[in-house]
Amino acid sequence: MTAYDELMKKIKDVDIISQIGSLLSWDQEVMMPPKAALLRAEQLAYLSSIRHEKMTDEKIGTLLERLEKDNNLDEIQIGNIRLIRNSYDKATKLPNDFVIELAKHRSMSMITWTEAREKDDFSIFRDDLKKMISLVRREADYLGYDEVRYDALLDNYESGLTVSKLDPLFRSLRNNVSPLVKLVVEEGEEPNMDWVKENKWSKAGQENLSHKVSEAIGFDFSAGRRDSSTHPFCGGPNPDDVRWTTRYSETEPFGSLYGSMHETGHGMYEQGRPRNLDFQPAGKANGLGIHESQSRLWENQIGRSLAFCEWSLPLWKENFSENMNEVKAEDLWRSVNMVQPSLIRTESDEATYNLHIMIRYEIEKQLISGEIEVDDLPNVWNEMYDKFLGIKVPNDSLGVLQDVHWSMGAFGYFPTYTLGNLYSAQLLSAAKKDLGDINKQIRDGNFSPLLEWMRNKVHSRGSIIEPSELIKEATGRMPSSDDFVQYLKNKINELYQIKIDIK
């Protein structure tokens, strides 16, 4: 057995443990009875401990040192060694008892967050969140950083991401997008939403609509499933078993459909990963920013297009016949694209979405640095929503408790959503040059060309190269916000007929 084969055999063991853990985590969020919380915490902590022990095996370090001197490796082997080195270095910096403690607390914290959100009572979650913040601060210190502690956490979700890189990005988006939102609020004519507000939207109809749309755009339900959960997510162990969830409201049907399209985008990425690289790091999705580009692409740039509304209108009428009698495709298009500052990130429009992310990013920086503490959090959250979005937060369930991420210890995750928006616009712009009239294809229900383009340019490439290099390879340019800003300007101009400097 070669040194490379021996290394990959060890990494396969690590990956199988991670796959088992992903199934237990999915069950915890979707089906697990509440009384099983303590047991599940022990189970997940045990898996985390075993995985950590295997990942920190000294033999992995020895094999890496040997292979890093080999000049005859191919692209995939080089990618695997780069990724394994990164994981090994991080794992060896984290004590095993800390890994166990974090895994146990993550499991329990998710339970208290769910209860706090349901009961609109931040105090239920307060102590667990305080401990979680303490734990992730320790994690950052173990991992190390050059400038600020938060950089270590950002790097967990997008390799090389730092505050010094993100601050200018968010500043640029604020400067370009905020004036667009202001123009719409001051000069735009709101679409007629009576047809939405005055009707009830059955859960059964929403389930059927979201299932048919997900299947039509390319999700393989023989290798996946759809369920409901408090917070929509996509999980599952490998391309043959991909699981996503959504949630339903009888007063508003867009959240379930577009939440479904968002998670379907994640799911199709997972199903499109290179099967010859199963159990290998290079076969995984390429960071959360790239992952988010796929979900935002299908949810927004495709799902909220006029062409998609024209195609999907018959499905709406099939599932909600009485509600949709007088509704035209253009009415649907205007309604699903209404630009309006709102409380809920997952249901916000494309123009204001990044402001939601910016708020969380600013809060996380301050929490991790110690500038604010947990008891300050609800007030700080409410003040920022008033300052940046101009809206009052009526309660904590619609405010600081709305996202699951902090209960999981996922600090540094939120900025990847904004990266996904930027990447998706750049990828779609490149795809249009290759595929021709994408709008006609969508209007005809022909989603295969775009999905196959993403399969070839993104999905099949796994994590062989760095995220920014993948975007450059697929589009011919390094990542930029230009395409996203241009896309927003074009869309707002079409929707609201407001005079905007398009170029």
Using 50 as the pLDDT threshold, list the residues of the chain that sit under it. none
Cβ atoms of 281 and 86 within 8 Å: the answer is no
Cα–Cα dist 429/58, whole Å? 46
> What is the predicted pLDDT for the residue at 178?
83
Three-class secondary structure assignment of 106-158: HHHHHHHHHHHHHHCCHHHHHHHHHHHHHHHHHHHHHHCCCCCHHHHHHCCCC
Cα separation, 132 vs 407, in Å, equals 7
pTM over 0.85: yes
Q: Give the active site residue among 263, 270, 292, 350.
A: 263
Each domain of the chain, given as residue ranges in start order, spans: 3-144, 163-496
pLDDT at 347: 82
In the sheet with 241-246, reading across from the earlier edge strand, the strands are 224-228, 241-246, 234-238
The CATH T-level fold of domain 163-496 is: Neurolysin; domain 3 (1.10.1370)
3-state DSSP: the chain helix, strand, coil percent, rounded to 5? 70, 5, 30
**Is-catalytic flag, 263?**
yes
pLDDT at 503: 52
User: Would you say 298 and 266 are in contact if contact means Cβ atoms under 8 Å apart?
Assistant: no
Identify the pLDDT of residue 381.
98
